[in-house]
Each structure stands twice: as structure tokens, then as C-alpha cells.
Amino acid sequence: MLQFDTLIIGSGLAGLTLAIKLAEHKKVGLITKRSLLDGASGQAQGGIAAVLSGNDSLEAHFQDTLTAGAGLCDEAATRYIIEHGKGAVDWLISQGVPFTRDESNDTGYHLTREGGHSRRRIIHAADATGHAVQETLVARVQRHPNITVLENHMSVDLITGKKLGRSDNRCYGVYALNSVNDEVITIAAQNTILATGGSGKVYLYTTNPDTATGDGIAMAWRAGCRIANMEFIQFHPTCLYHPHAKSFLISEAVRGEGGLLKLPDGRRFMPWHDERAELAPRDIVARAIDFEMKKRGLDCVYLDISHQSVEFLGEHFPTIYARCLALGINISKEPIPVVPAAHYTCGGVIADLRARTDVENLYAVGETAYTGLHGANRLASNSLLECLVFADAAAQDILGKPAEKSFPLPDWDESRVTDADERIVISHNWAELRHFMWDYVGIVRTNKRLQRAEHRIQLLQDEIHEYYANFHISSDLLELRNLVLNAELIVHSALLRHESRGLHFSKDYPETLPEAHPTILIPPSA
């Protein structure tokens, strides 16, 4: 059995930040499914939204967030995060993150603007902010003597008092599968943090990395945590449409710098849908693209930034420019083919302002968590901000707690399972799940589509439960098990919302109700 003061599951921005902030005082274990640099944080292009300039205000950022959230943002959580935004960015600068400079700006850094923002407030490192941030923090994590990193380890399930037959239901650690040798190890910790990202891989088309299988959300639900607002899946409006481009995002900032959405004949269409046109919030832009594609039978629409110079594009969007050019698309001369794709899970594990969940000693941060910031639709570039602020909040809470006595935890029991005979079942079920979730639980929904998905999910649940109970586990099986549970939570939440709001649009309930309430699911085990 491995033992740490604090165990962090996930190596995105939230997990790395927390590890660094705790390591001066705690023995920290950090496990990640693949390498430290895999995950969604490293793919973030746009940047971090925070009030840094004298031309901006906390109230403007607050109101922009509330507007995008369509009445469902938790105002206390939103204010808390926005008020701590500058401190979070200053901490990253102190760690050595190379944000793009601009001496003509009163901050000394270039600030861009994205959809839904009323000001330029997005600090960034060219168009690869996430990569720059992650590389900087990973280097610090790898050098720290108090941080033990376990790569290629996937969490199987949380170890709770209830599972141990104790009277409490606190979290004592996790069982984790070493995917290199297929051995399940026991990891004990006084505090455990879920920082595993979202569940974008439940959909056929997504900007998310392969690791985004909703592991933390599924484990928390099985442990007895409430889950909120899972019906609000953000579809990014502009994912590169190309047969050889896997899930490549075209940043919101391209539209922020004047990029225009057009039909194949060159006509703009966003002004027909919203007065803010290309700078409308993501849900509106994604629905507009979906509408035009279905109405006209299009495979994609086009994002045109060719009015900008090669020098401008090379400076502000070097990654996008180079990637498109490698695929034969010169964005300085021709538009970029784009389609919407599942991008961000706005709901998740309910966490308070200290990132605490319903299970004692269990925390949730980043995309895994539901803090109330994003409401019915996340405002662009608020996600990395939330990671930083809530990682700091969790660190403060953990450092303020007295140490607890530990005791031995039982080993993983494999005495009654055998080797799997047909692994094709896993890949087949994975493909089926992602196809019907895209078809039935996508950008526009109906009750009939949701009920079809619900029926198929139940059939998959039965098959997976039988497989999990009888055969040795694998990372593919664990991910499928978690994804199907996430799909069930998404569909259940969507069926409970009898209105259209933010990212959830129902043809059966096209109107928005006068009062907004979050969808809160309570697990049977709670």
C-alpha cells in the first residue's frame, strides 16, 4: 500500500497547481492516466480570463459571466472566482509562465477578447496558453522532492468508509490500475482530490483528449456525492473539419480578432441569429452553425480570418496557422472549415467554496467539479481561471486541517475473476455509446431522442456490469464503465429540465422558464 498526506488524481492545471501549493507542507501523490502533459489543460489555446487592466472591472467580468450562464450561475461562487482572478494569474507569472507581452498595454501583457466578453481581458501565451502553463508547472512538479508522480495509473474506485463497512463515509484513498503491468495497487491518503477533467469522450465528435472519460464524476457518484447540471455540455462552435485532423480546436480568439463565420458561398450568417454575431456566447454560435448545416445539408461552415496579415497570424495564432498549413489550408488566403464539437462539461461533482464534496476528505476541482461558476453555459476562458482559484481554495482548506491517523486498507480482490474472452465487446460498446449520444443527446434535443438514448444506456450498463464483475479489469473497461455512467447522468438531467436554457435546447420545451434552478442528482447510495 502506498500512502500520502494528499492524493491528487489528475495532472491538469488544477491538479498541478494544488500539488505545488501543498508540497511545501505535505507529502503529495499525483496519479495520472497517461503522462503529466496529457489532458485537456495542455490543449487550451485561448487563455485565462481575469480583470488585469484598468480599462476593465470586476463587475463587468461578473456580469459577462452571468449573462453567458443564462441565469444559472451561483453568484457567490462567481464573485469569489473573479475577485481572485488577478492573484491567480500573478501566481502563474511568478512560476515563470511566458505570457505574450505587450508594452503598450497598462498590464505589460497582450489581452485578447473572446465571445461573450465585453472587454479585452484574456491573458495568453500566443495560441498555446495551456501548453505553456502546463510545461512550466510540470517542470516544477518533477523537481519537487515532496511530490511523487505515478504516470500510467488509472483510478478504479474511491475507498470510502461505507465500502470498508465503517460507520463514517469519509474517503480514505483509491484503488488504481497500473496500465503498464495491469496490477491494481492501493493508495491511502488523508485527503483525496478529483481533478480528472470532463466527459467529452462520451460524444462522437469532441475537442477533448482521449483521457476525458468522466472518471472523477463517475467515482464520486458511486461514492455518494451529488452531481449537478450534467445536461449542460458545451459544444465548441469551431473544431477543424478535416479527415486527418483529430479533435483540433480553432480558438475562440480567432473570432475575437475579427474572424467571420461564412457559408460555402461566402455569406455571413451569424448576424441573422444574434446581434453580437461572431462574438455571441458559444451556445448561440454552436446552435446557429448546427441550424445552418442541417438546413442546407452542409458538412461544415467556414471561419475566415484571411483579412489579417501573415505576420499577425504568425504572431497571434502560430499553432493554428502551422497546423492548418500542414493540412493544406493557408488561413491567410482561405477560410477554415469548421464544425461544432463537444468541448466542456459545465456540470459535475458539487463542490463548495473550499472545493469540498459531500464525502468527507474528498475534494473536486477543475472540470470535474460543479462550483456554480459556469451556470448553463461557460464563458470563454473562465475554465482555467476556475482551476487556479479552486486549487488554491482546496490547498488552504487542506493545510488548515489537523493530521489524522491512518490504518491499513484492504488490497484489491481479484480472487473471483478470470481473463476476458472477448475484448471486442468493449470497443463495440464504446463506439455505440458515442454514436447514439451524438445523435440523440447533442446540440438540439427532444424527449423521444433522450428516451431512446436512455434505453440504450440501460442495455450497455447491464453488459458492462456483467463484464466488470467477472473479468480482470483493463483501462479500456474502466473508461467505458465511467463513460456510460456519465451518459446516464447527462440524459437523466436533460429529461428533468423542462425548458430550453443555455446549452440545453429542447424542441419539446423551447421556452425558458421565469425562474432558473440547477439540476441536482442524488445517488441511491447517498
- pLDDT digits 0-9 by tens, 320-337: 999 999 999 999 999 999
- Check residue 493 and give its pLDDT: 98
Check if the beta carbon of residue 58 is closer than 8 Å to that of residue 51: yes
Sequence-distant contacts of 320-329: CB under 8 A, at least 24 apart: 320/45, 320/127, 320/250, 320/251, 320/254, 323/240, 323/245, 323/248, 324/240, 327/240, 327/242, 327/244, 327/245, 329/242
Residue 526: pLDDT band (50, 70, 90) is low
What is the CATH number assigned to the segment(s) 2-231+346-399? 3.50.50.60
Q: Which amino acid, 413? A: D
The chain-wide mean pLDDT, for the chain, equals 94
Check if the beta carbon of residue 377 is closer than 8 Å to that of residue 232: yes
Catalytic member of 170, 282, 323, 449: 282
- Check residue 426 and give its pLDDT: 86
Q: Which amino acid, 495? A: L
Residue 127 has pLDDT above 90, yes or no: no
Least confident of 75-79, 161-165, 302-306: 161-165
Residue 23 has pLDDT above 90, yes or no: yes
To the query of whether residue 282 is one of the catalytic residues in this protein, the response is yes
Residue 201 has pLDDT above 70, yes or no: yes
Neighbour order of strands in the sheet with 111-112: 48-49, 122-123, 111-112
Query: Who contacts 458 (Cβ-Cβ below 8 Å, separation ≥6)?
Result: none
93: three-class secondary structure by DSSP: helix
* Four-point Cα dihedral 184, 188, 192, 197, nearest 10: -10
Residue 261 has pLDDT above 90, yes or no: yes
Which one of 3.40.50.970, 3.20.20.60, 1.20.58.100, 3.30.43.10 gives the CATH number of domain 424-511?
1.20.58.100
Rama region for 266: left / alpha / beta (φ>0; ψ in -120 to 50; rest): left
Sorted by where each begins, the domain ranges of the chain are: 2-231+346-399, 237-342, 424-511
What is the CATH number assigned to the segment(s) 237-342? 3.90.700.10
Instruction: Give the 3-state secondary structure of 141-206.
Output: HHHCCCEEEECCEEEEEEEECCCCCCCCCCEEEEEEEECCCCEEEEEEEEEEEECCCCCHHHCCCE
Q: What is the pLDDT of residues 431-452, one digit of tens each?
A: 999 989 988 999 999 999 999 9
Residue 252: pLDDT band (50, 70, 90) is confident
Closest CA to 420 of 478, 366, 368, 364: 478
What whole-number distance in Å separates Cα of residue 309 and Cα of residue 322?
14
Average pLDDT over residues 340-365: 97
CB atoms within 10 A of CB 151: 17
Least confident of 106-120, 222-236, 239-253, 382-396: 239-253
- Check residue 101 and give its pLDDT: 95
Question: Residue 164: exposed, middle, or buried by beta-carbon count in 10 A (0-12, 13-18, 19+)?
Answer: middle
Q: Are both 2-231+346-399 and 237-342 of the same fold?
A: no
CB atoms within 10 A of CB 448: 11
Q: What is the pLDDT of residues 468-524, one digit of tens each?
A: 888 889 999 999 999 999 999 999 999 999 999 999 999 999 999 999 999 999 999
Residue 116: pLDDT band (50, 70, 90) is confident
What whole-number distance in Å separates Cα of residue 114 and Cα of residue 131?
19
- Check residue 422 and give its pLDDT: 65
Query: Who contacts 187 (Cβ-Cβ below 8 Å, separation ≥6)?
Result: 1, 2, 3, 4, 7, 29, 31, 173, 174, 175, 176
Residue 427 has pLDDT above 90, yes or no: no
Q: What is the pLDDT of residues 28-64, one digit of tens each?
A: 999 999 999 888 887 877 899 999 999 999 999 999 9
Residue 200 has pLDDT above 70, yes or no: yes
What whole-number distance in Å separates Cα of residue 189 and Cα of residue 407?
10
For β-strands 233-240 and 336-345, DSSP reports them as antiparallel
